[in-house]
């Protein structure tokens, strides 16, 4: 499987601390050695650093850990390959444009019966179930909404119904962002934490690193971090439910959908 890491913040914030914890799981404290990637949004633009090698040994990952790129929306992934070879074209996150916005997607899980998903003009480049699912989602969204909907809640509700269909094909934990919204969907494992004043200390589980957010922030900062498993051991992370979608904007939770599948359980 893989691990996901996302961030939504109301001021440009670096993710060096959380990423340092994730990196350890990419070859040292975890088995996710088949590549890694991280996408930073800055305004409408985004940039991705990725490498098809183990994160813990990657010189580019070292740069990302040490060089504080400040962003209000981040999507990251470390990979343990199941579908698709270890190659750059199969390395998450994947980014495609829709409605004049760059959408970035990372997936944890494994799907069956995904080959027949219809992707229209969003054609996969690599061989993963993940990229295929992403292309299918975008194709469905573009067919339903010719432009970005004026009521974004309609987008989130439709997207949740699509994610439910993917969950029916296996495990589908997802992060999706356009730089404004950070959309999360959980099948098995996703945890969130929202940090705001008064800020405290946080200690990484996977590395001997402690940060005092009081020193790094202003009182108005709101920063949410989403990860497959909690990254710190002295804070309260919230586990998402099966079939739950949470949408964050500027660090705040703005939409929480417990989908029909979940409500019926």
Catalytic residues: 2
Number of Cα atoms under 13 Å in the Cβ half of residue 240? 31
Query: Tokens at residue 176, please?
Result: 């999706």
| Residue from 3, 26, 38, 50 binding its own copies (CB under 8 A) | 50
- Min dist CB 122 to its own copies, Å, is 7
- Min dist CB 11 to its own copies, Å, is 17
Positions in 7-46 near its own copies (CB under 8 A): 42-46
Distance, in Å, from the CA atom of 47 to the CA atom of 27, rounded to the nearest integer, reads: 24
Name which of 46 and 160 has its Cβ closer to its own copies: 46
Residue 181 binds its own copies, judged by CB under 8 A: no
Positions in 108-127 near its own copies (CB under 8 A): 121-126
- Min dist CB 53 to its own copies, Å, is 11
Positions in 67-106 near its own copies (CB under 8 A): 67, 87-91, 96-102
| Residue from 10, 29, 48, 82 binding its own copies (CB under 8 A) | 48
Positions in the binding site for its own copies (CB under 8 A): 42-52, 59-60, 63, 67, 87-91, 96-102, 121-126, 142
């Amino acid at each position: 499987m893989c691990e996901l890491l996302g961030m939504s913040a109301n001021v440009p914030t670096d993710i060096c601390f959380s990423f340092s914890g994730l990196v350890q799981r990419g070859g040292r404290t975890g088995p996710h050695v088949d590549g890694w990637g991280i996408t930073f949004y800055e305004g409408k633009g985004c940039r991705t650093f990725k490498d098809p090698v183990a994160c813990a040994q990657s010189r580019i990952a070292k740069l990302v850990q040490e060089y504080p790129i400040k962003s209000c929306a981040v999507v990251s992934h470390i990979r343990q390959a199941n579908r698709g070879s270890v190659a750059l074209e199969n390395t998450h996150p994947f980014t495609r444009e829709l409605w004049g916005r760059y959408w970035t997607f990372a997936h944890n899980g494994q799907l069956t019966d995904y080959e027949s998903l219809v992707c229209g003009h969003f054609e996969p480049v690599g061989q993963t179930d993940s990229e295929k699912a992403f292309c299918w989602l975008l194709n469905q969204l573009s067919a339903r909404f010719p432009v970005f909907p004026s009521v974004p809640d309609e987008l989130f509700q439709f997207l949740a119904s699509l994610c439910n269909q993917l969950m029916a094909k296996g495990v589908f934990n997802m992060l999706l962002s356009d730089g404004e919204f950070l959309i999360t969907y959980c099948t098995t494992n996703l945890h969130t934490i929202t940090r705001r004043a008064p800020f405290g200390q946080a200690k990484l589980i996977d590395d001997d690193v402690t940060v005092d957010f009081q020193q790094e922030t202003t009182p108005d900062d709101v920063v949410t971090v989403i990860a497959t498993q909690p990254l710190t051991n002295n804070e309260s992370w919230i586990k998402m439910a099966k079939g739950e979608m949470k949408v964050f904007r500027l660090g705040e939770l703005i939409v929480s959908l417990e989908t029909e599948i979940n409500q019926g359980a």
